[in-house]
Amino acid sequence: MEEGARAEALLLRNVSPPGALPGCIVASPSLSNPDYYYHWVRDSGIAMRAVLSLYHSARTLAARQRYLGLLLSFVDFSRHIQRTATTHGIGLGEPKFTVGGEPYSGIWARPQDDGPAIRAIELIELAFTLLDEGEGALVREKLYDGRLPTDSVIKADLEYVAHRWSETCFDVWEEIRGHHFATQHLERSALVDGAELATKLGDTGAATFYVEQSRLMEPRLREYWDPRKGYIVATRDPDTGERSGLDSAVIIATLIGDSIDGVLQHKHLSAVDHERVLTTIVALEQVFATLYPINDPSRKLPGIAIGRYPEDRYDGYHTNSVGNPWFGITVSFAMFYYKLVRRYRKLQSIAVTDTSIPFLRRLASSIRRPLRPGEVLAPGDPDFDETLAALGRRGDTFLQRVRCHIGPEGSMDEQLNRVTGFQQGAADLSANYAVFLRAAEARRAVHALDPWPAP
Contact footprint for ligand NOJ (CB under 6 A): 27, 34, 36, 40, 42-43, 172-175, 314, 319
Q: Which residues of 83-97 are buried (b: 16+ CB within 10 A; e: fewer)?
A: ebbeeeebebbbbbb
CB of 246 to ligand NOJ, least distance (A): 16
192 or 329: whose CB is closer to ligand NOJ?
329
Phi-psi region for residue 343, left (φ > 0), alpha (ψ -120 to 50) or beta? alpha
- The smaller minimum CB distance to ligand NOJ, of residues 174 and 375, is found at 174
Of residues 77 and 359, the one with the C-beta less far from ligand NOJ = 77
- Given 174, 226, 311, 375, which residue is catalytic? 174
**7 or 352: CB nearest ligand NOJ:** 7
Closest distance between ligand NOJ and the C-beta of residue 314, in Å? 3
Compute the least distance from the CB of residue 200 to ligand NOJ, in Å: 31
Name the residue whose CB lies closest to ligand NOJ. Answer: 314
Question: Does residue 237 contact residue 245 with C-beta atoms inside 8 Å?
Answer: no
Residue partners of 352: CB distance under 8 A and separation at least 6: 360, 371, 372, 373, 374, 375, 376, 377
Q: Could you give the CA distance from residue 174 to residue 246 in angstroms, rounded to a whole number? A: 16
Among the listed residues 53, 99, 43, 55, the one whose alpha carbon sits nearest the alpha carbon of residue 432: 43
Backbone φ/ψ region at 33: left (φ over 0), alpha (ψ -120 to 50), beta: left
10 Å Cβ neighbour count for 164? 18
d(CA 213, CA 37): 35
Residue 193 annotated in active site? no
Q: Output the smallest distance, CB 109 to ligand NOJ, in A.
A: 7
Q: How much is the CA Rg of the chain, to the nearest whole Å?
A: 21
User: Active site includes 171?
Assistant: yes
Separation CA 23–CA 70 (nearest Å): 6
3-state class (DSSP) for residue 126: helix
**Contact indicator for 396, 291 with CB cutoff of 8 Å:** no
CB 389 within 8 A of CB 381: no
Q: In the bound complex, what is the minimum distance in angstroms from residue 431's beta carbon to ligand NOJ?
A: 6
Nearer residue to ligand NOJ within complex by CB, 135 or 174 = 174
The catalytic position among 8, 171, 273, 275 is 171
CB of 432 to ligand NOJ, least distance (A): 9
Q: Which is nearer to ligand NOJ, 209 or 314 (CB)?
A: 314
The set of catalytic residues is 171, 174
